[in-house]
Amino acid sequence: MSEENFNETMLDVFIFEINKHLESLETQVLQNEKNSCFTKESINEIFRSMHTIKGSAAMMLFDNISTLSHSVEDVFYFLREQTSENMDCSNISDMVLESVDFIRAEVEKIKNGEKSDGDASELIAEIDMFLTLLKQDNGVVEKKEQTVNNPAQQFYIPPEPKQNTVDVNHYEAKIRFDDDCGMENIRAYNLIHKVLEFTDDVHHVPDKILENDESSKIIKENGFTVYINTNQNYAELYETLMQTAFLKSLELHELDSSEISVKQIDLGDVTEPDMTIKIPVLSAKVKVKFTEDVRESTSMSGQSMISVSVNK
């Protein structure tokens, strides 16, 4: 697949998925108007939709969409985690619908080959102020949190590449995508593309993501394993990988300095080149596992088909 065709396919997938989530958001708001206010289930659905839109837009570098979605996601994260006694349902509905209108207008620009250049700063400021007042009304006192993340990464804007060879850390990440997300090879490609923004010392199994027609099947059955050497610390890398769209599970291990060869995954009838990649040995000192039991899926569970042209 040529790079031009691949990028066009990615754009088609992005537009299709975002429109599906926008339709779901509108349905949830209209349904809640009938119910007089938001139910726990609808809050979860809206949170998941905004989380997915945020991740997909960030992956495609549409930062205005990603940033706006992040703000709305924060509101529904609060509503999901806290028992809100003072919920202005009408204002919340308006906030969601205004955000949907903005995102839909930007997606239409993208669809028409135009630049996604809409300014959502005023709407974002209103949403952030609404969340602040919502917390105050419910007796929540905010504490300033220390973070190891670069402020420029707050909304997952790609960091500047850094290739300092001093104090390089070594990691193994084992990733699985949602069962029904489809196009696992494209999900894997986007993950690697994001990692390459801060280090070019990356190896992965399977090795050929796009060139091998069987890579989606391999990744779905065996998962996607990535070996990363980077100056990022554990928390920074973990946060970066957690923004992967359609993430089902993540196991991130910090490795020591010894070198071993990657164990070849059994590819059955699929022919892969001999892979002897030098990577560090797994250390037992750090191991964090993220699964669906700890955090809800980042995608809508019912989506298993996409509408793109046959040649793609």
In tens, the pLDDT along 27-66 reads 999 888 777 788 888 999 999 999 989 988 988 889 999 9
Q: What's the rounded Cα separation, in Å, for the pair 17 and 65?
A: 14
Q: Which long-range contacts (CB under 8 A, 24 or more apart) does 277-284 make?
A: 277/203, 277/227, 279/170, 279/172, 279/203, 279/227, 279/255, 280/170, 280/255, 280/256, 281/255, 281/256, 282/172, 282/253, 282/255, 282/256, 283/253, 283/254, 283/255, 283/256
pLDDT tens figures, 260-310: 444 333 333 333 433 333 333 444 334 444 444 434 433 343 343 444 444
Contact 237, 228 (CB under 8 A): yes
Work out whether the CA dihedral 174, 180, 79, 57 comes out positive or negative: positive
pLDDT at 269: 37
pLDDT at 81: 84
pLDDT reading at 176 higher than 50: yes
Q: What's the rounded Cα separation, in Å, for the pair 26 and 50?
A: 12
| Backbone torsions φ then ψ of 138, nearest 5 degrees | -105, 15
pLDDT at 18: 93
pLDDT at 142: 52
Domain ranges in the chain are 3-137, 159-290
Cα separation values, 5 from 1, 19, 59, 60, 139, Å: 6, 21, 18, 15, 52
Q: How many Å separate Cα 269 from the centre of its chain?
A: 32
Average pLDDT over residues 7-25: 88
pLDDT at 123: 93
Q: Which residue matches tokens 């949190």?
A: 145
pLDDT at 305: 41
Contact 265, 218 (CB under 8 A): yes
Q: What's the rounded Cα separation, in Å, for the pair 166 and 291?
A: 33
Q: What's the rounded Cα separation, in Å, for the pair 65 and 107?
A: 9
Better pLDDT: 144 or 167: 167
pLDDT tens figures, 143-159: 444 444 444 433 334 44
Q: Give the homologous superfamily in CATH for domain 3-137.
A: HPT domain (1.20.120.160)
- Name the range with the highest mean pLDDT among 105-114, 211-220, 267-276: 105-114
Average pLDDT over residues 165-182: 83
| Fold (CATH) for 159-290 | Alpha-Beta Plaits (3.30.70)
Average pLDDT, the chain: 75
pTM of the shown model:
0.50
pLDDT reading at 26 higher than 90: yes
